[in-house]
């Protein structure tokens, strides 16, 4: 028998201690164990918000921002995608698909109001303009989320020094990246740490689809035609539908197969009127 | 005395026609101009404005005659840098500026957009993404930080595409874009000089792959991908065979995650792809769970009955018989395609503005159809009649056109170029001016044939041999109605349902019934329009004077003149003979009316 065990046995087995005292000791031990467990648990949970230099906080700051912005990014991308790349289209075709309930204002990305003539590319720098459109629409929300993050940390007892300078959106294959240019200084119990430049990444096929959109517009502007079936055979991951409206506009719908994201836009060019 | 009076009336009529033809031609030019059409369409509800526009069109049409060259320069186009509805660089007709019309603008530039530097079309290069945009406007490109040059088809070095290997994916893109996409994945650029997209995509599956081990975990990757993440690469080795890796080979079969891989594969116990278990031969089949799924379309709809089609096959569907100027009223050309086991059908265009052309490749007893919708050049065919010297050559060179030999009798025969697939008209609704254009087009087949009668010795009159005697027979009506039908939705003809109406007025010859054309409302098995070369299509589309707003002598008014000359000549011949006193001319008239 080991020494420690023997000591305990001798302690509890000591007939000199009355029975009530032995119970008291047991209760103290149990309470002690509980205190240790509670303290351990507090440390486990505090780990998330205590500043350290190992990057743990940064991950969670990004996670807060991502959670805050996620829905807004998805909604904005959906609105922009279904309206030909614009939140508020100016040159558009109002159209309702049979299988849908509402009308959409779908932007003309290539347009010629005159008959016979090729369409004129209205958005030659489509990807850059989509970025700008997203930035314009998410501007308030990004700043608001950054402020909310500071407030949240403030409520947790940190002295927060938050400085927001702006943000940029990068459209990339399979994702949309938001790079926030800002600083977040956190101080608590003499420990302080400063974080800069937060990056949020949201999975999306928005960029991949937009590149196809540009290709379609190029071909419509050059040849008055885009061979959607041929393209789909080469790139089966894309589904491309075209619908001709009663006034000879063409509405393209591009969908990435493994996602529900789709992009719609309109084209008007090389229109042959019913008579000369 | 009576004869002289008749001749006087004829001469009077011809003088009247000559005087009015100038204005009539001007009117037709005005109506045929697409810019004016759009101008008319701007405010359909505003009757007063339409009336003013109509007047403007008539005036503009009159002034735009080549013969009145000293004022024609003043009638032209103006450029809206941005229309009220937001269209950039749109041409409008001079004098139609407006701050309220959607298709106009308040302060247009006093020249066509082609002459405005901001509206110059060229190639816009996105120097960050490495993307090139053709036919891009200079103003829009530069404003969005693009680099613009005047080569509107982007046939410049920085836009030349090649094959870019990114991991085991091959992309047919520009070198700059290759660099950009590779850098996003932390890979070095691997750009290869291949000319076709097909060659490039074929490289996707031929990349050397192997086991990539990093921190005791193995994944199947290319050498390039593996080095980019700092892994240890074992070329052509599966993870199940890589040292220190505990994955067992060939545990399960299934489909690969990669978009370009369509076969059924073995996977090791760690989920890494190994050898092909079953080749699916894409695009005929593709991997579906653990087997190959047929992507063709069985019993797909055909022109007549059904036919099995392979994945990617495209074919034409028609509402009735096509070609030979016999497309029925209301019929359209359709394109059908088999895409991943499903048949999808699209209309080629409205009013047969586009037609469906098809070609069939035959190999080892199997056929594969390819089809596409192309612009119907029906109006070019009419335009060819304006130059008699090149009529036959131009008409025969364009597969959308055909020479119609009108040969009723020795004094009534001529060749005319007509559409092989007549363009349809907007018969229901639409504006009245458009309808009047349809009427004008049909009226090209309005003809009269003068038949020469000879006085018999014993009294009475008989048709003189060689005096257009056949014009009084059904042959005249049949040929005239065929001519009439070939111009568009004109004449006594049937619609695509098989119902018809009489739309021809004949005097002096038997009537023709639309019922003899009922057979044309049924599609014909194996019938399809022949395709053209791309060059031919583009050349004819952008080279024809139909799309040239500066060319005021359209085909239609020239044809009116031409056909007027034909009947006028035969009329003069008969009138000359009439002076001898033994002959008399009888008129046989044909009037072709919109359906």
Distance (Å) from the C-alpha of residue A213 to the closest C-alpha of chain B? 11
- Asked whether the predicted pLDDT for residue B34 surpasses 90, the reply is no
- Closest CB to B339: pick one of A92, A223, A232: A232
DSSP assigned state of B245: -
Nearest to B130 by CA among B91, B87, B171, B97: B171
Does residue B540 sit at the A interface (CB-CB below 8 Å)? no
Q: Note the pLDDT of residue B87.
A: 93
Which residues in chain B are closer than 8 Å to A113, comparing Cβ atoms?
38, 83, 87, 90, 103
Do A37 and A86 reside in the same domain of the chain?
A: no
Do A16 and A78 reside in the same domain of the chain?
A: no
Q: Note the pLDDT of residue A17.
A: 58
Q: Note the pLDDT of residue B553.
A: 38
Q: Note the pLDDT of residue B257.
A: 85
Q: Which residues contact B593 (CB under 8 A, 6 or more apart)?
A: B439, B442, B490, B491, B503, B504, B505
Contact B130, B157 (CB under 8 A): no
Would residue A246 count as lying in a domain?
yes
- Asked whether the predicted pLDDT for residue A211 surpasses 60, the reply is yes
Do A40 and A170 reside in the same domain of the chain?
A: no
Q: Note the pLDDT of residue B486.
A: 94
Does residue B463 sit at the A interface (CB-CB below 8 Å)? no
d(CA A238, CA A208): 9
Distance (Å) from the C-alpha of residue A224 to the closest C-alpha of chain B? 9
Helices (H) and strands (E) counted in chain A, each on its own, are 6, 9
- Chain A (67-96) residues lying within 8 Å, Cβ to Cβ, of chain B: 89-92
pLDDT confidence band for B429 (50 / 70 / 90)? low
Q: Which residue of B has its CA nearest to A175?
A: B184
**Cβ burial, residue B297 (10 Å; 0-12/13-18/19+):** buried
Tokens of residue B283, six digits: 């695009």
d(CA A180, CA A166): 6
What does the radius of gyration of chain B's CA atoms come to, in whole angstroms?
Answer: 33
Of B36 and A88, the structure prediction assigns the larger pLDDT to A88
Q: Note the pLDDT of residue A172.
A: 95
Q: Angle, to 10 degrees, between the axis of helix B432-442 and the axis of helix B2-32?
A: 130
Q: Which residue of A has its CA nearest to B442?
A: A275
Of A15 and B111, the structure prediction assigns the larger pLDDT to B111
Q: Note the pLDDT of residue B426.
A: 80
Do A40 and A112 reside in the same domain of the chain?
A: no
Does residue A124 sit at the B interface (CB-CB below 8 Å)? yes
Q: Note the pLDDT of residue A48.
A: 44
Q: Which residue of A has its CA nearest to B315?
A: A229
DSSP assigned state of B323: S
Percent of chain B with pLDDT over 70: 78
DSSP assigned state of B263: S
Do A206 and A134 reside in the same domain of the chain?
A: yes
Percent of chain B with pLDDT over 90: 47
Q: Note the pLDDT of residue B591.
A: 84
Which residues in chain B are closer than 8 Å to A227, comparing Cβ atoms?
372
Do A191 and A131 reside in the same domain of the chain?
A: yes
Q: Which residues contact B202 (CB under 8 A, 6 or more apart)?
A: B170
Sign of torsion over alpha carbons B98, B99, B103, B107:
positive
Distance (Å) from the C-alpha of residue A115 to the closest C-alpha of chain B? 6
Nearest to A95 by CA among A244, A254, A260: A244
Do A167 and A264 reside in the same domain of the chain?
A: yes
Return the minimum-mean-pLDDT range out of A148-152, A163-167, A261-265, B11-15: B11-15
Do A16 and A145 reside in the same domain of the chain?
A: no
- Asked whether the predicted pLDDT for residue A207 surpasses 80, the reply is yes
Average of pLDDT values for B454-482? 89
pTM: 0.69
The end-to-end CA distance of chain A, in Å, is 110
- Closest CB to B197: pick one of A127, A227, A234: A234
DSSP states of B21-77: HHHHHHHHHHHH-HHHHHHHHTTTT-HHHHHHHHHHHHHHHHHT-GGGHHHHTTS-E
Cβ distance A128 to B379 less than 8 Å, yes or no, reads no
Task: Kindly report the backbone phi and psi dihedral angles of residue B306, in degrees, each rounded to the nearest multiple of 5, phi listed first.
Answer: -130, 165
**Cβ burial, residue B438 (10 Å; 0-12/13-18/19+):** buried
Cβ distance B438 to A229 less than 8 Å, yes or no, reads no
Stated as kind and residue range, the H or E segment containing B561 is helix B555-578
- Asked whether the predicted pLDDT for residue A39 surpasses 90, the reply is no
Q: Is B228 left (phi over 0), alpha (psi -120 to 50) or beta?
A: alpha
Tokens of residue B560, six digits: 């009116």
Q: Note the pLDDT of residue B530.
A: 86
What does the radius of gyration of chain A's CA atoms come to, in whole angstroms?
Answer: 31
Average of pLDDT values for A223-243? 89
- Closest CB to A127: pick one of B126, B153, B337: B126
Distance (Å) from the C-alpha of residue B577 to the closest C-alpha of chain A? 40
Of B162 and A191, the structure prediction assigns the larger pLDDT to B162
Would residue A203 count as lying in a domain?
yes
- Asked whether the predicted pLDDT for residue B507 surpasses 80, the reply is yes
Q: Note the pLDDT of residue A90.
A: 93
Nearest to A255 by CA among A223, A232, A227: A232
d(CA B196, CA B189): 19
Return the minimum-mean-pLDDT range out of A168-182, B175-189, B202-216, B323-337: B202-216
Task: Kindly report the backbone phi and psi dihedral angles of residue B263, in degrees, each rounded to the nearest multiple of 5, phi listed first.
Answer: -90, 170
Would residue A276 count as lying in a domain?
no
- Asked whether the predicted pLDDT for residue B350 surpasses 60, the reply is yes
- Asked whether the predicted pLDDT for residue A160 surpasses 60, the reply is yes
| pLDDT per position as a tens digit, A10-23 | 444 455 556 677 78
ipTM over 0.90: no
Q: Note the pLDDT of residue A156.
A: 87
Cβ distance B546 to A123 less than 8 Å, yes or no, reads no
Return the minimum-mean-pLDDT range out of B18-27, B84-93, B439-448: B18-27
Return the minimum-mean-pLDDT range out of A40-44, A152-156, B125-129, B535-539: B535-539
Which residues in chain A are closer than 8 Å to B380, comparing Cβ atoms?
none
Number of Cβ within 10 Å of residue A227's Cβ equals: 16
Which residues in chain A are closer than 8 Å to B542, comparing Cβ atoms?
118
Does residue A177 sit at the B interface (CB-CB below 8 Å)? no
Q: Note the pLDDT of residue B440.
A: 84
Q: Is B79 left (phi over 0), alpha (psi -120 to 50) or beta?
A: beta
Q: Which residue of A has its CA nearest to B428?
A: A274
- Counted across chains A and B, CB pairs separated by less than 8 A come out at 171
Would residue A274 count as lying in a domain?
no
Return the minimum-mean-pLDDT range out of B105-114, B389-398, B565-574: B565-574
Q: Which residue of B has its CA nearest to A256?
A: B259
Q: Percent helix, strand and coil across chain A, each rounded to 5?
A: 45, 30, 30
Contact B242, B218 (CB under 8 A): yes
Task: Give start and end residues of each alpha helix (H) in B185-242.
Answer: 197-202, 223-228
Of B38 and B204, the structure prediction assigns the larger pLDDT to B204
Tokens of residue B176, six digits: 């700059």
pLDDT confidence band for B159 (50 / 70 / 90)? very high
Among A7-11, A143-147, B183-187, the range with the most confident prediction by mean pLDDT is A143-147
Q: Note the pLDDT of residue A45.
A: 55
Cβ distance A121 to B37 less than 8 Å, yes or no, reads no
pLDDT confidence band for B583 (50 / 70 / 90)? low
Q: Note the pLDDT of residue B379.
A: 87
Cβ distance B128 to A128 less than 8 Å, yes or no, reads yes
Do A30 and A128 reside in the same domain of the chain?
A: no
Q: How many domains does chain A have?
A: 2
Do A43 and A97 reside in the same domain of the chain?
A: no
Does residue A244 sit at the B interface (CB-CB below 8 Å)? yes
List B209's β-bridge partners, or say none: B222
Cβ distance B103 to A113 less than 8 Å, yes or no, reads yes
Do A38 and A101 reside in the same domain of the chain?
A: no
Residue A181 domain boundaries: 57-268
Q: Note the pLDDT of residue B495.
A: 94
Which residues in chain A are closer than 8 Å to B438, comparing Cβ atoms?
274-275
pLDDT averaged over chain A? 85
pLDDT confidence band for B14 (50 / 70 / 90)? confident
Do A224 and A90 reside in the same domain of the chain?
A: yes
Q: How far from B186 is each of B88, B128, B179, B183, B229, CA to CA, in Å?
A: 40, 16, 10, 5, 8
Contact A33, A27 (CB under 8 A): no
Average of pLDDT values for B465-492? 92
Task: Give start and end residues of each alpha helix (H) in B125-204.
Answer: 138-143, 175-184, 197-202
Would residue A128 count as lying in a domain?
yes
pLDDT confidence band for B227 (50 / 70 / 90)? confident
- Chain B (336-355) residues lying within 8 Å, Cβ to Cβ, of chain A: 337, 339-340, 346-347, 349-351, 353-354
pLDDT confidence band for B467 (50 / 70 / 90)? confident
Among A66-75, B550-559, B574-583, the range with the most confident prediction by mean pLDDT is A66-75
Q: Note the pLDDT of residue B581.
A: 46
Cβ distance B423 to A270 less than 8 Å, yes or no, reads no
Among A166-175, B248-257, B368-377, the range with the most confident prediction by mean pLDDT is A166-175
Q: Note the pLDDT of residue B46.
A: 39
Distance (Å) from the C-alpha of residue A125 to the closest C-alpha of chain B? 6
pLDDT confidence band for A32 (50 / 70 / 90)? confident
Would residue A275 count as lying in a domain?
no
Stated as kind and residue range, the H or E segment containing A196 is strand A191-203
Q: Note the pLDDT of residue A54.
A: 44
Q: How far from A161 is each of A64, A79, A185, A196, B449, CA to CA, in Å?
A: 17, 35, 5, 11, 98
Contact A225, A217 (CB under 8 A): no
Number of Cβ within 10 Å of residue B571's Cβ equals: 17
């Amino acid at each position: 028998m080991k020494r420690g065990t023997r000591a305990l046995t001798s302690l509890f087995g000591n007939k000199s201690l009355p029975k009530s005292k032995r119970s008291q000791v047991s209760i103290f031990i149990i309470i002690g164990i509980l205190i240790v467990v509670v303290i351990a648990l507090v440390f486990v949970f505090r780990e998330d918000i205590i500043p350290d230099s190992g990057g743990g906080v940064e991950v969670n700051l990004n996670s807060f921002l991502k959670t805050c912005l996620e829905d807004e990014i998805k909604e904005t991308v959906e609105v922009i995608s279904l309206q030909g790349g614009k939140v508020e289209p100016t040159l558009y075709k109002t159209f309702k698909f049979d299988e849908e309930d509402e009308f959409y204002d779908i932007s003309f990305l290539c347009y010629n109001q005159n008959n016979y003539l090729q369409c004129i590319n209205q958005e030659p720098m489509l990807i850059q303009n989509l970025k700008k459109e997203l930035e314009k629409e998410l501007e308030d929300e990004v700043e608001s989320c950054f402020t909310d993050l500071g407030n949240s940390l403030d409520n947790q007892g940190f002295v927060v020094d938050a400085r927001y300078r702006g943000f940029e959106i990068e459209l990339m294959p399979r994702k949309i990246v938001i790079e926030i240019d800002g600083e977040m200084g956190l101080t608590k119990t003499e420990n302080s740490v400063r974080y800069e430049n937060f990056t949020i990444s949201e999975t999306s096929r928005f960029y991949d689809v937009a590149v196809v959109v540009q290709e379609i517009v190029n071909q419509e502007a050059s040849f008055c035609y885009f061979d959607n079936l041929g393209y789909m055979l080469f790139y089966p991951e894309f589904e491309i539908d075209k619908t001709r409206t009663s006034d000879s506009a063409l509405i393209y719908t591009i969908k990435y197969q493994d996602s529900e994201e789709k992009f719609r836009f309109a084209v008007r060019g090389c229109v042959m009127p019913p008579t000369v | 005395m009576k004869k002289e009076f008749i001749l006087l009336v004829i001469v009077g009529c011809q003088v009247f026609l000559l005087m009015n033809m100038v204005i009539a031609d001007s009117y037709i030019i005005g109506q045929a101009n697409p810019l004016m059409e759009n101008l008319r369409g701007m405010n359909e509800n505003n009757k007063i404005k339409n009336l003013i526009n109509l007047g403007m069109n008539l005036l503009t049409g009159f002034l735009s005659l080549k013969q009145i060259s000293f004022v024609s320069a003043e009638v032209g186009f103006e450029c809206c840098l941005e229309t009220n509805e937001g269209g950039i660089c749109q041409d409008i007709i001079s004098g139609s500026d407006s701050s309220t019309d959607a298709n106009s603008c308040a302060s247009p530039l006093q020249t066509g957009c082609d002459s405005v530097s901001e509206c110059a079309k060229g190639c816009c290069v996105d120097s960050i993404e490495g993307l090139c945009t053709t036919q891009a406007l200079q103003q829009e490109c530069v404003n969005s930080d693009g680099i613009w040059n005047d080569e509107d088809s982007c046939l410049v070095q920085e836009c030349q595409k090649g094959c870019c290997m990114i991991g085991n994916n091959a992309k047919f893109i520009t070198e700059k874009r290759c660099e950009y996409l590779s850098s996003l994945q932390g890979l070095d650029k691997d750009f290869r000089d291949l000319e076709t997209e097909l060659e490039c995509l074929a490289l996707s599956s031929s990349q050397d792959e192997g086991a990539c081990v990093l921190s005791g975990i193995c994944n199947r990757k290319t050498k390039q991908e593996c080095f980019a993440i700092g892994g240890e690469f074992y070329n052509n080795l599966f993870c199940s065979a890589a040292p220190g890796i505990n994955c067992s080979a060939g545990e399960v079969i299934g489909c690969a995650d990669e978009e370009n891989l369509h076969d059924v594969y073995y996977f090791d116990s760690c989920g890494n792809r190994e050898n092909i278990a079953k080749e699916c031969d894409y695009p005929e089949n593709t991997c579906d769970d653990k087997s190959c799924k047929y992507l063709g379309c069985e019993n797909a709809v055909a022109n007549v009955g059904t036919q099995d089609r392979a994945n990617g096959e495209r074919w034409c569907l028609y509402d009735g018989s096509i070609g030979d100027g016999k497309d029925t009223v209301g019929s359209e050309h359709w394109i059908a395609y088999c895409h991943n086991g499903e048949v999808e059908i699209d209309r080629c265009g409205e009013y047969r503005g586009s037609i469906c052309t098809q070609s069939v490749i035959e190999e080892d007893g199997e056929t594969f159809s390819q089809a596409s919708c192309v612009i119907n050049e029906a109006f070019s065919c009419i335009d060819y009649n304006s130059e008699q010297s090149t009529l036959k050559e131009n008409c025969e060179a364009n597969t959308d056109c055909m020479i119609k030999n009108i040969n009723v009798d020795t004094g009534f025969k001529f060749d005319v170029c007509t559409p092989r697939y007549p363009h349809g008209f907007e018969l229901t609704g639409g504006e009245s001016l458009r309808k009047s254009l349809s009427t004008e087009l049909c009226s090209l087949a309005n003809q009269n044939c003068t038949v020469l009668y000879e006085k018999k010795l014993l009294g009475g009159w008989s048709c003189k041999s060689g005096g257009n005697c056949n014009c009084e027979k059904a042959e005249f009506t049949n040929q005239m109605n065929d001519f009439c039908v070939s111009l568009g939705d004109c004449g006594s003809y049937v619609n695509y349902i098989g119902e018809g109406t009489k739309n021809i007025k004949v005097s002096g010859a038997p009537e023709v019934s639309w019922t003899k054309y009922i057979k044309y409302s049924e599609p014909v098995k194996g019938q399809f329009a022949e395709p053209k070369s791309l060059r031919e299509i583009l050349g004819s589309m952008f080279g024809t004077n139909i799309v040239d707003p500066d060319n005021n002598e359209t085909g239609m008014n020239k044809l009116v003149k031409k056909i007027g000359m034909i009947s006028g000549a035969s009329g003069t011949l008969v009138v000359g003979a009439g002076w001898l006193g033994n002959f008399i001319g009888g008129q046989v008239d044909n009037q072709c009316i919109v359906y």
